[in-house]
Amino acid sequence: MIMDTPRWLLLLSIALMGLIAFAAFSYDTPRAIPDAHPKFAAMEIGGQRARDDVEHWHLGLGLGLVMIAYFTAFLTLAAGHTSHGTSLRIATLAGAGLFAGAFALMMHASREYAVLSENPTTLGPFPAPTTYLCAGVWLTPLVFTAIYCFGFNLWFAAEDDGNLVTTQSAEGAIN
Amino acid sequence: MEAYRAQIIIACVGFYFVLCIVVGLWAMRRTHSSKDFFMAGRDLGIIVTAIAIFSSAMSGFGFVGGPGLVYRMGISSLWIIASTTIGYALCFFLLGKQLRKWAVARDSISLPDVISARYDSRLAGALTAIAIVLGVMGYLATQIAAMSTVLQSLVIGLTSFGELPLEYFAIFSTALLVFYCVTGGIIASVYTDLVQGVIMMVAAVMVFLAAIWLFDDGLPGISQILMNDDRASMSPWGTKGMVGCLSWYFVFALGVAGQPHVITKLMMTRRAEDARYTLPATILGYMITALLWITLGLAMRALVVSGAYPELVSADRAAPEFLQHFAHPILAGVVFAGLFAAIMSTADAFLNIGAAAIVHDLPVAVTGKHLKNELLWARIVTVLLGILAMLFALYTGDMVALLGAFGWGTFAAALVPTVAIGLNWQRATSAAACAAIISSLVVNFALKVSSVSIPLSIDPGAIALLVSIALFILVSLMSPSHVNQTTNSDDAA
C-alpha cells in the first residue's frame, strides 16, 4: 500500500474539512435559517435552503462520496488484525462501491425530484429519492453487517487472541 | 374504556415500574463484586447485549424528540436513523472483539481502564473519566427532567391528584432509577434494558400500524399529503438542507463507536464470538424502534396540514398528542411505558458508567490504587450521582443544557479516535489520545458557550469530530514512536 490507513484518514479528514469550508463559502446565504411554514408556526418548509441545495447538488454528491470513503477507511482499519487482511479489504471496498452507487442514485433522484415541474408521485411509501435514501443509504450498508457475520471466522475470529495485550508492559498501567 | 384512559395509562406505566424493581431485586442476588456491578460478571448473552446496546442508544429523545423533529423538519432526521447501519458496522468491525479482549486481558471494568492500559497512561484514563462524568451529568439530568415532566403530565390526567409539584416526580423518578441501579448495578441495568427494549419494539410496531391505519392510503397517502403541502419537506433533505443532513449522518454514524454507554456493553459479553450475531440483532432492534420516530412524526404533520387536527403548540407535542387522541388507551399505555423504558435504559447506563468513572477510574488515575470496598463505594456514588443529577435537572436551568452539550458529539470526538482508531493502530500515542480528548471538550464547549451560528446547519459535533481525528493522527505521527511489540502484534502483519 502507498499509505497506511490512518494516513488516508488524515487526508480524508482534511478533504472533508475543505469541502465543508467550501460549502460554507459557496452558498449565497449559508446562514439562512429554514423558512417557517406559512400557516403553522411549529413547522418549517424547504424554501430558499432547498432551492440553494439544487444549485449545489454536485457539492452534496462530492461530500457524500468522500464521507463514504472515510467510513470505508475506518472499516479497513480492522484488516490489520487478520492474516487475511487483503481479502477483507477487497470485500469492504466492494461493499463501499455498492454503497457509493446507491448514494449517487439517491442524489440523482433528489435533483430530478427538486426540479420536477408536475406533482411528484410516490415510489413505495415515499417519493422516489426518499425511498432511495431508505433503500440505498439506510439499507445498503447492511452489506457490511453481512461481511461481518459471514466472514467472522475468517476475518474477525481467526486472530491469535493470546498474542494481544497480555504481555503489554505494566508500567504506568492500572495495577 | 375511553373514560378510564388516564387510569389505564398509569396502570401500564405502574406495572412497568414494578417490573424494574423486581429485576433490581433479582439482580442484587447476582451482584457480589465490583466486576459484577460494573461488568455484569462478563456474562451477557447475545440477545441481552444486543437489546442493551440499542436501547441505551435510543433514549427518550427517540420517542419524543424524534417525532418532534419529523413534525418540524420533515424527512431530515431520517439521516440520524439511516446512520445506524453503517454506524454499528463500524463499531463492531473496530471494537466488537478488540474492546472485550483488552477488558479480559487486563481485567478492565471500565472504558477509562482500557484506555489507561492501551496507552500506558493514567492521564489518558483520567481525561476519559472526566469527559464521561461531565457527559453523564448532562445526559442524566436531561433524562430525569424528561421523566419527571412526562410523569407529571400523566398524573394531571387523574383529577383526584390535582397538580403536584415537579419536585415530587423528580424525587420519585430518581428514587426508582437509583433503586435498581444500586441494588443490581449493571446486571439490573442490562436486564431492565431487556424488558425496556422489548417494550420499545412492541410500542413502535403498534404505533406504526395505528398511524398508517389513520390514512386511507397508508404511508403513501401521508407522503402525498405532505408533498402537496411542501415538496421539499418530503425530499431526502427535508427542511434542514443537504449539508446539514450529511453532517448529521457523519456524526451519528461515526459517533456510535465513541458512546461509552453503548460500547461498554461490548466488554460484558460472555464470548467474543457472540459479536457475530449481536451486530445484526442490534441493528434489527434499532430499526424496529425507529418506526415510531418516523411514522408518528409524519402522521402528525399530515394530520395538521390536512386540517384533520389543530396546529400543535410545539413540535415536541407530536408524540403525546398523537397518543392522547389517536391511540387506543392500552396502546397509549404501552407506548408511555415504552417512553419511560427509553428514558430509563439510557439513564441507568449513564449512572453505571458515571459511578465507575468516579469510584474506579479517577482514584486509580490519581493515586494508582483501587479504593477499598469498591462495591460499597459504587453503590454510595450511584445514589449521590442520581441526587446530584436530579438537583441539576431541577435547579440549574441553562447549566443542564450546557452540560447536555457534552453529549453525543463530545463523546464521539473524544473517544472515536482514542478507542476506535487507537485500539486498531499500533502507532497511536498517549499524547495523541490526550490531545483528542482535550480538543473534543474545548471545541464542543466553545461552540456551545459562544453560541456560534454554524453555516448550513452543520452539526457542531461533526466539526469537533473531524478536528479531533485529524489531531489524533497528526500528533501520533509526530510523537516519538512508542511501539509496544506485543500490544497489537498483528498490526505489523
Over range A133-160, report the average pLDDT.
88
CA B415 to chain centre: 15
Q: If pLDDT is split at 50, 70 and 90, which confidence band does B159 have?
A: low
CA B276 to chain centre: 22
- CB within 8 Å: B237 and A174: no
- CB within 8 Å: B239 and A7: no
The least confident of A30-39, B151-160, B227-236, B348-357 is B151-160
Which chain A residue has the Cα nearest residue B75? A130
Taking 70 as the threshold, does the pLDDT of residue A171 lie above it? Answer: no
Taking 70 as the threshold, does the pLDDT of residue B195 lie above it? Answer: yes
Taking 60 as the threshold, does the pLDDT of residue A175 lie above it? Answer: no
Q: If pLDDT is split at 50, 70 and 90, which confidence band does B372 have?
A: confident
pLDDT for residue B399: 58
Residue B72 is placed in which grid cell? 418540524
Which chain A residue has the Cα nearest residue B282? A145
Q: If pLDDT is split at 50, 70 and 90, which confidence band does B402 have?
A: low
Taking 90 as the threshold, does the pLDDT of residue A106 lie above it? Answer: yes
The least confident of A65-74, B306-315, B397-406 is B397-406
Q: Which residues in chain A have their CB less than 8 angstroms from residue B236's CB?
A: 106, 110, 129-130, 132-133
Which chain A residue has the Cα nearest residue B277? A149
d(CA B156, CA B6): 9
Over range B136-140, report the average pLDDT.
81
CB B20 within 8 A of CB B342: no
CB A50 within 8 A of CB B244: no
> Which of B468, B444, B442 is closest to B454 using CA atoms?
B444
Taking 60 as the threshold, does the pLDDT of residue B445 lie above it? Answer: yes
pLDDT for residue B118: 92
The residues, ordered by sequence, that sit 6+ positions from B121 with a Cβ below 8 Å of its Cβ are: A172, B115, B430, B433, B434
Judge whether A40 is closer than 8 Å to chain B, CB to CB: yes
Taking 60 as the threshold, does the pLDDT of residue B490 lie above it? Answer: no
CB B100 within 8 A of CB B116: no
The residues, ordered by sequence, that sit 6+ positions from B44 with a Cβ below 8 Å of its Cβ are: B52, B190, B265, B268, B269, B270
The residues, ordered by sequence, that sit 6+ positions from A1 with a Cβ below 8 Å of its Cβ are: none
Over range B234-250, report the average pLDDT.
94
pLDDT for residue B86: 96
One-letter amino acid at B152 equals Q
Judge whether A23 is closer than 8 Å to chain B, CB to CB: yes
Residue of higher predicted confidence among B146 and B173: B173
Q: Compare CB distances from A172 to B121, B279, B457 and report the shortest one's residue.
A: B121
Burial A100-121 (b: 16+ CB within 10 A, else e): bebbbbbbebbbebbeeeeebe
CA A38 to each of CA B42, B303, B340: distance values in angstroms, whole numbers, following the listed order: 56, 16, 35
Enter the DSSP assignment of A121: -
CB B55 within 8 A of CB B341: yes
- CB within 8 Å: B92 and A139: no
- CB within 8 Å: A7 and B473: yes
State pLDDT tens for residues A82-98.
778 889 999 999 999 99
Q: Containing H/E element for A51?
A: helix A47-55
Taking 80 as the threshold, does the pLDDT of residue B201 lie above it? Answer: yes
Q: Which residues in chain A have their CB less than 8 angstroms from residue B435's CB?
A: none
pLDDT for residue A167: 40
> Which of B261, B320, B340, B290 is closest to B15 using CA atoms?
B340
d(CA B53, CA A103): 27
d(CA B203, CA B431): 46
Taking 60 as the threshold, does the pLDDT of residue A99 lie above it? Answer: yes
Mean pLDDT of chain A: 85
With residues binned 3-state (H G I as helix, E B as strand, rest as coil), the percentages for chain A, rounded to 5, are: 65, 5, 30
pLDDT for residue A74: 95
Mean pLDDT of chain B: 86
Residue ranges of A 131-150 with Cβ closer than 8 A to chain B: 132-134, 137-142, 144-145, 148-149
> Which of B476, B441, B434 is closest to B461 using CA atoms?
B441
Which chain B residue has the Cα nearest residue A69? B250
pLDDT for residue A129: 94
d(CA B107, CA B100): 10
Predicted-complex ipTM score: 0.91
Taking 70 as the threshold, does the pLDDT of residue B32 lie above it? Answer: yes
pLDDT for residue B331: 86
pLDDT for residue B398: 59
pLDDT for residue A2: 58
CA distance A101 to chain B (A): 15
Over range B306-331, report the average pLDDT.
87
pLDDT for residue B492: 36
Residue B278 phi, psi (nearest 5): -65, -35
State pLDDT tens for residues B89-127.
999 999 988 888 888 888 888 899 999 999 989 999 999
Judge whether A20 is closer than 8 Å to chain B, CB to CB: yes
∠ CA B111-B58-B84, nearest 5°, is 80
Kindly provide the residue ranges of all beta strands, DSSP E only, lying in B390-484, ordered along the sequence: none
Q: Residue B141: is it exposed, middle or buried by C-beta count within 10 angstroms (0-12/13-18/19+)?
A: buried
Q: Containing H/E element for A35?
A: strand A35-36
Residue B169 is placed in which grid cell? 416526580
CA distance A98 to chain B (A): 13
One-letter amino acid at B361 equals D
∠ CA A124-A67-A82, nearest 5°, is 105
Provide the percentage of residues in chain A whose pLDDT is more than 70.
Answer: 89
Provide the percentage of residues in chain B whose pLDDT is more than 70.
Answer: 94
Q: If pLDDT is split at 50, 70 and 90, which confidence band does A35 have?
A: confident
Enter the DSSP assignment of B371: P
Taking 70 as the threshold, does the pLDDT of residue A7 lie above it? Answer: yes
CA B60 to chain centre: 9
Residue A122 phi, psi (nearest 5): -90, 155
CB B52 within 8 A of CB B344: no
Count of residues for chain A? Answer: 175
Q: Compare CB distances from B456 to A30, A50, A129 and report the shortest one's residue.
A: A30
Residue of higher predicted confidence among B143 and B398: B143
State pLDDT tens for residues B417-435.
999 999 999 899 999 999 9
d(CA B226, CA B72): 12
Residue of higher predicted confidence among B168 and B28: B168
CB B42 within 8 A of CB B271: no
CB pairs under 8 A between A and B: 304
CA distance A2 to chain B (A): 16
One-letter amino acid at A12 equals L
Over range B68-75, report the average pLDDT.
93
Taking 60 as the threshold, does the pLDDT of residue A155 lie above it? Answer: yes
CB B197 within 8 A of CB B52: yes
CA distance A129 to chain B (A): 6
Q: Which residues in chain B have their CB less than 8 angstroms from residue A157's CB?
A: 97, 272-273, 276
Taking 70 as the threshold, does the pLDDT of residue B491 lie above it? Answer: no
Helix H segments across B214-309? Answer: 218-229, 242-255, 260-263, 275-305
∠ CA B127-B130-B133, nearest 5°, is 150
Judge whether A22 is closer than 8 Å to chain B, CB to CB: no
